[in-house]
A = this chain, B = another copy of it.
Amino acid sequence: MGMDELDLRILQLLQKNARLSYREIARELNVAVGTVYNRIKKMEENGVIRGFCVAIDYEKVGFGLTAVIGIKAKGREIMRIEREIAKNPRVMQVYDVTGEYDIIAIAKFRDRADMNRFVKWLLSLEGVEKTNTSVVMDIAKEDFTISLEALSEK
A residues within 8 Å of B by Cβ? Answer: 1, 3, 11, 14-19, 46-58, 60-63, 66, 68, 82-83, 85-86, 89-101, 104, 106, 108, 132-147, 149-151
30 contacts between A and B (CB under 8 A): A1-B61, A14-B53, A16-B53, A17-B52, A18-B18, A18-B52, A18-B54, A19-B19, A49-B55, A50-B55, A53-B55, A53-B145, A61-B151, A68-B95, A82-B138, A83-B140, A86-B140, A86-B141, A90-B146, A92-B145, A94-B139, A94-B140, A95-B134, A96-B138, A97-B135, A99-B132, A104-B134, A104-B136, A108-B146, A144-B144
> What is the minimal beta-carbon distance from A108 to any residue of chain B, in angstroms?
6
Instruction: Determine whether the beta carbon of B46 is less than 8 Å from that of A150.
Output: no
A106 to B143, CA, bound (A): 10
Give the chain B neighbours of A85 by CB distance below 8 A. Answer: 140
Q: Which residue of B lies closest to A8 (CB)?
A: B61
Instruction: Determine whether the beta carbon of B55 is less than 8 Å from that of A51.
Output: yes
Q: Which residue of B lies closest to A138 (CB)?
A: B96
Give the chain B neighbours of A47 by CB distance below 8 A. Answer: 57, 60
